[in-house]
Amino acid sequence: MKLDVPSDLGMVGDAVELVASHLPPGTLSPRRISFNLRTALAEALGNAIRYGNGEDPDRVVRIRVELGRDVVRIYVVDDGAGFDPSHTPDPTSPENLEREFGRGLFVIRHLVDDVAFNEKGNGICLTLRAG
């Protein structure tokens, strides 16, 4: 499945539902789809639109979904310059706990089985395995 999403934060919810509702039954447990996949994809897509594409209406975010026997991989790629994912502060440290922003990658890493970035830093791959 491939999906191009306009750089409009208001589209995140609909795009997430479109992807989640098109996964074949049995690929992942309903609970993993309803919570882990939806939350992680909303994070990745929101980050791509806001920080990657700067909400520029002339840019799109590309989503590609790959299905394996017991695995789902979701690639989310924006048109931005990329970023270094190794330099993100710990949102659970006392000095960051009351900050409004900065939890996105932390949440993604806890909800999926594997997270990978492309070399440029403008693409993320979310891997969720069955079970």
> Which residues lie near another protein (CB under 8 A)?
9-13, 16, 31, 34-36, 38-39, 42-43, 46, 49-50, 91-92, 97-104, 106-107, 110
- Least distance to another protein, CB of residue 35, Å: 4
- Least distance to another protein, CB of residue 71, Å: 21
Q: Which is nearer to another protein, 59 or 103 (CB)?
A: 103
Q: Which is nearer to another protein, 20 or 71 (CB)?
A: 20
Half-sphere exposure of 71 (CA within 13 A, CB side): 10
Q: Which is nearer to another protein, 50 or 62 (CB)?
A: 50
- Least distance to another protein, CB of residue 76, Å: 13
Residue 67's alpha-carbon distances to 74, 108, 110, 128, in angstroms, are 9, 19, 21, 10
Sheet strands (E) in the chain: 2-6, 60-67, 71-77, 114-117, 123-129
- Least distance to another protein, CB of residue 129, Å: 17
Q: Which is nearer to another protein, 106 or 117 (CB)?
A: 106
Q: In b/e form, how buried is each residue of 75-101, taking b as 16+ CB within 10 angstroms?
A: bbbbbbeebeeeeeeeeeeeeeeeeee
